[in-house]
Structure 1
Amino acid sequence: MLKIKNYIFALFLLGSILLFGQEFPDYQERMFLTLSDSLRSPNIMSQATEGSIDAEEYLIGAGDKLFISISGMQELNYTLSVNHEGVVFIPKVGVVDLRDLNLKQARKKIEEKILNYFKNVEVNVLLVELRKIKVSLIGDVGKPGVFIFPANARLMDLIINSAGLNPTANFREILIKSKNEENLYFDLLPFLRFGDRKNNPLLHEGDIVVVNKIDETVFIAGEVSYPGTYEFKEGETIEELIHLAGGLLNKARRDSIEVIRFVDDGFSQQSKFYSFDEIREGKIPLSKYDNILIRKIPRIFENRFVVISGMIKYPGYYKIKKDSTTLLDIIKEAGGLREEASLDEASLTRSSETEVTEDPEFERLKLIPVADMTEDEYDYLKAKSRQRAGRVVVDFFRLLKFNDQSENLILKKEDIINFPEVKNYITMLGQVVNPGHIIFEEKLSVEDYIQLAGGFGWRALEGDVRVIKAKTGEWIEADDVDKLEPGDTIWIPEDPPGPKFWDVFTTALSVVGQLAAVVAATVAVIIATK
């Protein structure tokens, strides 16, 4: 009995994995056709998307109206309807059976019939009004139902005018069952992606469109235009899937396309490698749950550029040679520095290294109020906040003034070199009378600059002045600054205003009221116990 229970549990577990572990197709064409009703555009009346008719594709049926002109000795014009038996009666000619004929065939048959009764005439047959058809949509759809369309409606007209397909719907095997029990399958994706009209057929009276649920999938990744998960189609080849995914990109490796396939037990996988020529010539069929991996040729068509900006004669993009081009090479190629260039604030940023590894401690500290942090935690938060991702330490002064080759770094692609303009001023921020820029003078101190800015404002925290260093971004207490440098910022914080009288009054009144209530309750208890 225990073995049976274990067997049943194993089957249930396997079924759960297959049901919930399966990844559904994710290509972009599914997005609109699986939107909910509230997100779809309202459609007041179902209409076909095409105005023109293909005479070889359109089938004549009951309700179509034809204009027939017979030109000869006299002009005869008739507007006639095809009756419910599929025939049309032409005066002076008789009945013409148009069942199962397309428009081109119907025109020829009508003309031949008329020419049996009229000689030396010109016959014209025009379709002037389309009949209405009734079609059904069922299966894995938003709302199954019956729809009425003009007779030139196509499969996409039905889907767009319905409540859409479910996210689990199989776009690639849509069944259309005709009145005469003919079953035809259509793949909607080639029409949506490439405009393949044969997969967007005309609908006919009594058609039932059945949308099945996805059962099995395949996956393609790498150097194709549309990587992703797709519905598995029996008999489809790897080459056809690659074509459906938009084909190979220029950087795709064509000599080693990996096909990862489950073996018969459904648990183990094995890999095989094929060239694209082998796939194309061998017509290798897909198996359910195949994974097709198309890798990239490393470093092919790889641009190697750096950007130099700021106070340089010819800023812009410059090509470099791998493991060869240096800082001085690019500065020279860009025409050298302008007089206004600042060597102290010049920077080299390596954008390939800007992706900073996630720091859980930093993320935790960002969620904690500063008042609740320890001194070390606050210092760490400040240091991490000021960190400049990708910044490479270079002493441009030593490099350009003393030709120190230890600072002449070899550049990497996407490096950014910047020479900002010299800031020959000190910036005054916060609670001074006249905040702004003051021309730098080496002999002046922090107190001197505050006086030049008009002195402290009336709400300044005079004992908490900070200096923000231009080179490092470091915040230093004014008393600890040995020397100011061009570009530094002096910040005077504001003394926050005290509480308003009314707030203090109402708070005090509330406290007094609470105390009075406690005293009254205590007295009441004492009296009650006597």
Structure 2
Amino acid sequence: MIKKIVLVIFFLSTNFLLSQIKGLSTIDPEKLFQEDVIGRLDKDQEAIKDLSTVGNVVDPKYYYIGPGDLLALQNITFSITTEYLRVTPEVSVLVPRIGEINLKGKTLEETREIIIRSIKNRNPDAIVSLSLYKPRSVLVSIKGNVIKDGVYAFPASYRISTAIQMANLTQTQNIFQQQQFFTYSRYKDLNKEIERLYNETGLAHTKVYSLRNVTVIHSDGSSETADIIKAIALNNPDYDKYIKENDEIIVPYELEDFPTITVAGAVRKPGIYVFKKDDDLNFLLKTSGGFSDDADLDNIILINGDGISQKVKVSPDLIPSNNVPLYPGAILNVGRKNVDLEQNAGLVSIIGNVKQSGNYIITPGKTKLKEAIEMAGGFSNDAYLPLATIIRKENKFLSAFNPGREYFEKFKQTDLTMEDTIRFNIDIMYKKPYVSCDFYQLFVNNDESQNVILEDGDLITIPSNPKSVFVFGQVKNPGYINFSEGKDIEWYIERAGGFAPKADKKRARIIRGKNKVWIEQEKNVKVFAGDEIYVPKPPDLPPGVELQNYSLIATAITTAISLSYLLITLFGK
């Protein structure tokens, strides 16, 4: 019994002595303090779960600590548990076993050094790391050349450029914002069209002024100019800093006339930028986004504002052999290598009722339809030529923002009447890129004018015989009628029970199955399998219109009789 009491006393004494040696406590007060801090940060943990968009990768050299930042401190000397340090409104943090540390005006990198040094002063063997776990939110004001100016709450990890991008996002929650969205969409659509026209020309289509002259006014009254273009080109955050509390960001409007520097030619991103004093050749090259694949690095010309051309040597990674300052009006043009753009081979696809469907190599602009069908082994027995088609791929601009653009563009100088607009719009919406060709005339009647020349990407479809004609509208028994070669529209209407009582017989039409073209009923017009026949009612007239028509006729007759009587009276004398 005595031995047990002695052992207990010895254990407690040893534990007490060890606890007095810094860093060797078996009852870790740091861990206890940590658990206490974590317990008091339960609310912070809930906030952490709802992390907002970070926006930019945080560079510790440039990110300044502020009230509300949440730091993650990990001391893995004796524990791997992470401690969270909330920066106070006085821009300080309470570090366990260290106390309060003032961080005003300190970057994240400086903060890391100060806190780690403070811990190591107490325990040189400590293994410590510190990082920004969640950036604080700051209020900034954005105005000027943005879609929606106002006051925004953004994470302090946003750079000035990111804040501007967010102010240019469109919302559609209410009618005003929907109108704003459509206005902006039209603006973007116009820019897309201009970009398409200038695509692959090596020329820039717009000048950039505003993004090189963004004014930022800080809450302490100081101000600076952000150069977003230079920040991106040189990957230098000094020109595009992180936002701070109560910053006022003013984006200037584009000017029409200002001194410029230009990069053009065989580069990925041609540009025209406002000239600034410290601009040099290295900067202008970096704005280009790199050389295109056909760039001729032995043919790079610089005209440096004096009108004199000089060749410059530039490495493939955009480093000039002689970095010279630029002057207003400087132009850098990267030449292109001569590339043979003539395409000597292409593919067409033949599907449907041929003996061997598939893709076949042709010579674009030379191979004709008959040759392509011969490559496929000719037609199979089920081929039905009146419905055969060729569709050609189109490399044209399609607007996602304004699908009616083609309609308005083509109709703006028309001499058609307003009554034609709806019909024209329907035609535009549903037109297909068919190649004008009549397979029946070519392969049955040997009309060589229909032996069209093929192009790369053409799709040739040879359908089978549907063996029926669909008759609908004002007929007594609408539906499918078995196809009979050489019959006309009247024969099929008769097979459908004849005209219904309300049918407008003169307006019956054939709708071609191949292209949905409406054909009037005339002699010698054949009906093909797959066609449709439509018999409409007479046009519905609004109430009173028919009476007005009769009145006009009566008026015309009365006028004619009166005029005749007058003439007889005058000349009869």
Q: TM over 0.5, yes or no?
A: yes
Q: Compare 443-452 and 181-190 and name the one that shifted more.
A: 181-190
Equivalent residue in structure 2 for 1:49, among 38, 54, 64: 54
Contact 1:426/1:440 (8 A) holds in 2 = yes
1:296-311 to 2 correspondences below 5 Å: 297=339, 299=341, 304-311=346-353
Shift of 1:103: 1.5
Q: Compare 482-491 and 63-72 and name the one that shifted more.
A: 63-72
Give the equivalent residue in structure 2 for 1:461: 504
Shift of 1:453: 0.7
The 1:430/1:256 distance shift into structure 2, 3 A limit, reads: farther
Counterpart-to-counterpart distance in 2, 1:263 and 1:219: 14
Counterpart-to-counterpart distance in 1, 2:51 and 2:489: 77
1:99-114 to 2 correspondences below 5 Å: 102-107=110-115, 109-111=117-119, 114=122
| Secondary structure at 2:494 match in 1 | helix
Contact 2:159/2:241 (8 A) holds in 1 = yes
Report how many aligned residue pairs link the two structures.
435
Does residue 331 of the first structure (1) align with residue 373 of the second (2)? yes
The 1:160/1:432 distance shift into structure 2, 3 A limit, reads: closer
The 1:139/1:194 distance shift into structure 2, 3 A limit, reads: same
Give the equivalent residue in structure 1 for 2:39: none
Does residue 364 of the first structure (1) align with residue 404 of the second (2)? no
1:197-236 to 2 correspondences below 5 Å: 200-203=240-243, 211=251, 214=254, 216=258, 217=260, 224-226=267-269, 230-236=273-279
Deviations 1:433-457 (A, max 9, x none): 1233322334755433222111111
Q: What code does the residue aligned with 1:49 have?
A: V
The 1:429/1:59 distance shift into structure 2, 3 A limit, reads: closer
Q: What code does the residue aligned with 2:416 have?
A: L
Give the equivalent residue in structure 1 for 2:210: 170
Deviations 1:325-358 (A, max 9, x none): 4434422333432222223443445557999999
Shift of 1:287: 4.2
1:29-44 to 2 correspondences below 5 Å: none
Contact 1:354/1:390 (8 A) holds in 2 = no
Give the equivalent residue in structure 2 for 1:492: 535
Between 1 and 2, higher relative CO (CA 8 Å, sep ≥ 6) is seen in: 1
Does residue 447 of the first structure (1) align with residue 490 of the second (2)? yes
Counterpart-to-counterpart distance in 2, 1:100 and 1:324: 73
RMSD of aligned Cα (Å): 6.5
The 1:61/1:232 distance shift into structure 2, 3 A limit, reads: same
The 1:352/1:112 distance shift into structure 2, 3 A limit, reads: closer
Q: What code does the residue aligned with 1:367 have?
A: M
The 1:187/1:490 distance shift into structure 2, 3 A limit, reads: same
| Secondary structure at 2:378 match in 1 | coil
Give the equivalent residue in structure 1 for 2:435: 391
Deviations 1:346-396 (A, max 9, x none): 3445557999999889932253469xxxxxxx9xxxx99999866344666
Does residue 341 of the first structure (1) align with residue 383 of the second (2)? yes
Shift of 1:493: 3.2
The 1:261/1:317 distance shift into structure 2, 3 A limit, reads: farther
Counterpart-to-counterpart distance in 1, 2:61 and 2:144: 32
Equivalent residue in structure 2 for 1:434, among 462, 467, 477: 477
1:53-72 to 2 correspondences below 5 Å: none
What stretches of structure 2 of length at least 5 have no aligned partner? 1-49, 171-186, 188-207, 398-405, 552-573
Contact 2:295/2:334 (8 A) holds in 1 = no
Counterpart-to-counterpart distance in 1, 2:112 and 2:302: 48
The 1:210/1:461 distance shift into structure 2, 3 A limit, reads: closer
Equivalent residue in structure 2 for 1:475, among 500, 505, 519: 519
Shift of 1:459: 0.6
The 1:354/1:434 distance shift into structure 2, 3 A limit, reads: farther
Shift of 1:106: 1.1
What stretches of structure 1 of length at least 5 have no aligned partner? 1-44, 265-269, 371-377, 509-530
Contact 2:141/2:246 (8 A) holds in 1 = no
Q: Percent identity?
A: 23
| Secondary structure at 1:391 match in 2 | coil
Q: Compare 310-319 and 298-307 and name the one that shifted more.
A: 298-307
| Secondary structure at 1:247 match in 2 | coil
| Secondary structure at 1:319 match in 2 | strand
Deviations 1:160-211 (A, max 9, x none): 787999x997223446678999986544357779987665534567977665
Counterpart-to-counterpart distance in 1, 2:519 and 2:275: 61
Give the equivalent residue in structure 2 for 1:188: 228
Contact 2:302/2:330 (8 A) holds in 1 = no
Deviations 1:269-297 (A, max 9, x none): x9888897698545574744858587694
Counterpart-to-counterpart distance in 2, 1:242 and 1:446: 71
